[in-house]
Amino acid sequence: MLVVFLLLVFILRKFAWKPIIDGLNDREREIQSALDLAEETRAEMAKMKSDNEKLIAEANAARDKIIRDAKEASERMILEAKDKAIAEGQRMIESARETIHNEQHAAIAKMKEEVATLSLKIAEKVLHRELSDRSSQEKLIADLASSARLN
C-alpha cells in the first residue's frame, strides 16, 4: 500500500501537480500583473485628475483675465466716447455761439441799412412835401448856403 501510495504521489507529482502548480503560478502572475496595471492606472488617473484640475484653474484664470481686460477696455471706450461727446458738444456750442454772433451782426447791419434806407425815404418825403412850392425851395437853398459858409 505504501508502494502504491508513493507511486501515486510520484505520478501525480510528475503529471498533475506540476501543471497545476505551473497553472496556479501563471494565474498568480496574471493576477499580480493585473493588480500592478490597476495600480498604475489608478496613479495615472490621479495624475490626470491633478493635471485636469491645474488646466481648469489655468483656464479659469485666463477667463478671468479676459473678462477683466474686456471690462477695462469697455470702460476705457466709454470714457473716450464720453470725452469725445463732451468735446463735440463744446465744439457745437461754440459753433452755435459763433453763428448766433455772426447772425446778430448781420441782423444789426441789415437793420442799420434798413433804418438808413427808411430815413432817406422819410427825408425824401419830408423834403418833397416842404419843397413843393417855389418859395420853400428858395428859402431852403438860402439856409443851406448860409450854413455852408459858416462851416
Asked if the structure places residue 37 within a domain, the reply is yes
Asked if the structure places residue 77 within a domain, the reply is yes
Q: How many domains does the chain have?
A: 1
**16-55: buried (b, 16+ CB within 10 Å) or exposed (e) per residue?**
eeeeeeeeeeeeeeeeeeeeeeeeeeeeeeeeeeeeeeee
The domain in which residue 105 lies consists of 12-111
**Using one digit for the tens of pLDDT, what is the confidence trace for 111-126?**
988 888 888 888 777 7
**Using one digit for the tens of pLDDT, what is the confidence trace for 66-81?**
999 999 999 999 999 9
pTM listed for this prediction = 0.44
Asked if the structure places residue 126 within a domain, the reply is no
Low-confidence ranges of the chain (pLDDT < 70): 130-131, 148-151
Asked if the structure places residue 116 within a domain, the reply is no
